[in-house]
Amino acid sequence: MAVAVLAAGVQSPAFATVDVAGAKFDDIATVAGKELKLNGAGLRTKVIFKVYAAGLYLAEKKTTVPDVLGATGPRRVSIIMLRDVTSDEFGKSFMEGLSSNTDKFERTRILAQTMKFGEVFAQIQTLKKGDQMLLDWIPGEGTQCYLNGKKLGELMPDLAFYNAVLRIWLGDKPVDSSLKPALLGER
């Protein structure tokens, strides 16, 4: 009996969280049946406004962009909105980040998937404070997007598309220069 009470009082590491401006990220996430670890999490700001918190989940800790982009297995980006943003604003920022971190050849290669992803944003009028968007890479299947646990759109099969999306935050011209090192676990 005493052992059961003692064990119940010990918090499991699976329940540990990281707090970023009030947004909570679990240390562990499961994608395609695989356990992923929170690689890093940080804050996206625009001017002085806190827009969203983002977390990157990988099978193993990676601290460089080439290692993250070359990682095998499932991956996840979790975005928790810290303010209301219209889907037009979010989509525009997404496209700017994608364009700034891909060349013309790559943009042409992923054009069909980028258009499908735009259709996902068209389904949403506003991303509201507290909403959670998940962008999962599922090997052998593709990129899947979720909003508050609900699957959005179709799978987008090309790993090049998912890596281009990651470069929005991890590329040479990230949308937020302080978010990049946070996702790489430097903070």
Looking at residue 30, which CATH number applies to its domain? 3.50.70.10
pLDDT on residue 13 = 47
- Residue 98 has what pLDDT? 95
Instruction: Identify the pLDDT of residue 15.
Output: 60
Query: Does some domain include residue 154?
Result: yes
Q: Give the pLDDT means over successive 10-residue stretches in the chain (187 positions).
A: 37 70 97 98 95 98 98 97 94 93 95 90 92 97 96 92 98 96 92
Residues 6+ apart with CB under 8 A from 133: 78, 79, 81, 127, 145, 146, 147
Q: Which pLDDT score is estimated for 10?
A: 38
Query: Which among 74, 82, 161 has a CA at the least distance from the CA of 117?
Result: 161
Closest C-alpha to 159, from 115, 122, 91, 106: 106
In a domain, 3, yes or no: no
Is residue 177 assigned to a domain? Answer: yes
Q: How many domains does the chain have?
A: 1
Give the domain range for residue 45: 10-183
pLDDT of residue 2: 39
Structure token pair of residue 21: 């401006």
Residue 112 lies inside a defined structural domain of this protein: yes
* Domain-located, residue 1: no
In a domain, 98, yes or no: yes
Q: Residue type at 150?
A: K
Any domain includes 71: yes
